[in-house]
Amino acid sequence: MTTIPSTTTESAMSEPITVPPFAVISGAQVQRVLQGHEKEIVEVVEATYRLHSAGDSVNPPSYFLGLPDRPSSRIIALPASIGGDVRVDGVKWISSFPQNVEAGIPRASAVLILNDHDTGYPFACLESSIISATRTAASAVAAAECLGRGRPRPTRIGFFGTGLIARYIHTFLADTGWSFDEIGVHDLSADSAAGFRCYLEQSGTAGRITVHDSPEQLIRLSDLVVFATVAGQPHVSDLSWFAHNPLVLHVSLRDLASVIVLAATNIVDDIDHCLKANTSMHLTEQLTGNREFVHGTLDDVIAGRVSVPADRPLIFSPFGLGVLDLAVGKWVYDEVVRSGELHVVDDFFHELSRYG
CA distances from 72 to 60, 141, 241, 273 (A): 24, 29, 29, 21
- Vertex 310: Cα angle to 304 and 314 (nearest 5): 80
Beta carbons of 198 and 190 less than 8 angstroms apart: no
pLDDT, mean over the chain:
93
pLDDT of the residue at 197: 97
192 CB burial (10 A radius; 0-12, 13-18, 19+): middle
Give yes or no: residues 22 and 109 share one domain: yes
Give yes or no: residues 265 and 329 share one domain: no
Buried b (16+ CB within 10 A) or exposed e, 54-77: eebbebeebeeeeeeeeeebebbe
Instruction: Give the range of the structural domain holding residue 47, as residue numbers without chain letter.
Output: 9-132+322-345
Per-residue model confidence as pLDDT tens digits over 57-82 = 999 999 999 999 999 899 999 999 99
- Give me the amino acid identity at 53: S
Give yes or no: residues 288 and 336 share one domain: no
Query: For the residues 309-335, what does the mean pLDDT come to?
Result: 96
Give yes or no: residues 296 and 153 share one domain: yes
pLDDT of the residue at 7: 39
Per-residue model confidence as pLDDT tens digits over 256-291 = 999 999 999 999 999 999 999 999 999 999 999 999
Q: Indicate whether 11 pLDDT > 80.
A: no
Residue, of 132 and 13, whose pLDDT is higher: 132
pLDDT of the residue at 14: 58
Distance CA 151, CA 294 (A): 20
Give yes or no: residues 288 and 188 share one domain: yes
CATH of the domain at 221: 3.40.50.720
CATH of the domain at 118: 3.30.1780.10
Give yes or no: residues 152 and 228 share one domain: yes
pLDDT of the residue at 3: 38
Distance CA 223, CA 149 (A): 14
Distance CA 306, CA 185 (A): 32
CA distances from 297 to 45, 242, 294 (A): 14, 22, 8
